[in-house]
Amino acid sequence: PVLKMKTFTTILVLVLATAVSSKTTEGPLNHCNARIVGGYHADISEIPFQVSLIRGRGPLCGGSLISNRWVLTAAHCVQSPSQLQVRINSTFGLAHGTVVNVNRPIVHPNYNELTTDYDFALLELKEEIELTEEFYAAELPEQDEPVEDGACLQTSGWGSTENGSGSEDLLVTYVPVISWNQCRKNYRKAHAITERMICAGYSDGGVDACQGDSGGPLVDGRKLVGVVSFGTGCGKAGLPGVYAKVSAVRDWIAFVSEGYESEESEE
């Protein structure tokens, strides 16, 4: 099978538990117990830390605001870091909200382009963002905090719907975590699954943050559990979406972001 990086033309594919719907649903149905083609429309107020990475006029990837100065995304999203910008606080990936310039991207030093291991990058924004009770950053897990098998997690973005066209609106869907051992077995002929990866999806396929919104969030409530990384095919049975595991690099995130803040305070 061909390995497809999740570049921006995503299909958030979900199927209703009782019937297949061709229309995008306007609200959540019973989370992981129901599956919806295209996901449901959400307002940015529901996921205020969700951001869109852009270059020039075009969308590039998703990302998550983790503080008033830093965005966490996927390393493979910033292999060409020039002219990167971040659109924040917008339900629409290509309009509204505020566009902030990126000062510098910092790719995890262990990132491996061939294996996609350590698929993390931090983006330092050129200006601080004012956070409020309504417009908040994502929370981070503790270092090596486990992710429970079967946990129902949320992923979101502006990818394609079932007809393949890009969505102007923010879409949200829910996926259950698949055990690491099971995912490693399923992917053994396609891709190595490391301890820095989480797999989430359905054993019979159909639901995925497929081919798009790389770098976007996989969350448990407000906690950022994973970063959209890669997949093989699109919602294929036995080949779930793969996410970079945030708790595996929590100390690195703190070292980079808090180290920067310390340098600023000393100046």
Structure tokens at 110: 């262990």
Distance CA 114, CA 124 (A): 25
Which of 52, 64, 67, 76 is labelled catalytic?
76
Which residue has 């497929």 as its token pair? 210
Q: Is 165 left (phi over 0), alpha (psi -120 to 50) or beta?
A: beta
Query: Is 214 part of the annotated catalytic residue set?
Result: yes
Cβ contacts of residue 179 below 8 Å, gap of 6+? Answer: 149
Distance CA 89, CA 70 (A): 14
- 118, 110 contact by CB (below 8 A): yes
For 50, 159, 191, the CA distances from 185, given in Å and listed in that order, are 32, 28, 10
Query: Is 119 part of the annotated catalytic residue set?
Result: yes
- 6, 231 contact by CB (below 8 A): yes
> Which residue in 217, 216, 175 sits closest to 199, CA to CA?
175
Which of 67, 167, 214, 257 is labelled catalytic?
214
Which of 117, 119, 208, 213 is labelled catalytic?
119
Which residue has 């102007």 as its token pair? 168
End-to-end CA distance of the chain: 52
Mind telling me the catalytic residues?
76, 119, 214
